[in-house]
Amino acid sequence: MDECSSGPASIRPHWQSLITSLDRLGRAELGLRAENSRRILAEHGVSCFANRNGGGTDEPWQLDLLPLVIGAEE
């Protein structure tokens, strides 16, 4: 079980629309979009400040293309 499913082959209702859209796009298109987002972020120098062991550094910002869908009951 995870955020998306309530058991084997059982998509939670509030995820269904997103899953349907992702299925329509297909794996290859999702891969292209993920790569495009990484390229755009790198080209524009988007970064975040990370505090590591008492020192800070700017690190490339990571974008998760899949949102966390939270149902109204949660």
User: Could you give the number of structural domains in the chain?
Assistant: 1
- Residue 13 in tokens: 């209702």
67 in a domain, yes or no?
no
CA 18 to chain CA centroid, nearest Å: 12
List, for residues 18-32, the tens digit of each pLDDT value.
999 999 999 999 999
In this structure, the number of other CB atoms found within 10 A of the CB of residue 47 comes to: 13
21 in a domain, yes or no?
yes
71 in a domain, yes or no?
no
pLDDT, position 34: 94
Q: What is the DSSP pairing of strand 55-60 with strand 5-7?
A: unpaired
**What's the pTM value of the predicted model, to 2 decimals?**
0.70
List, for residues 47-64, the tens digit of each pLDDT value.
988 887 878 888 888 888
pLDDT, position 35: 95
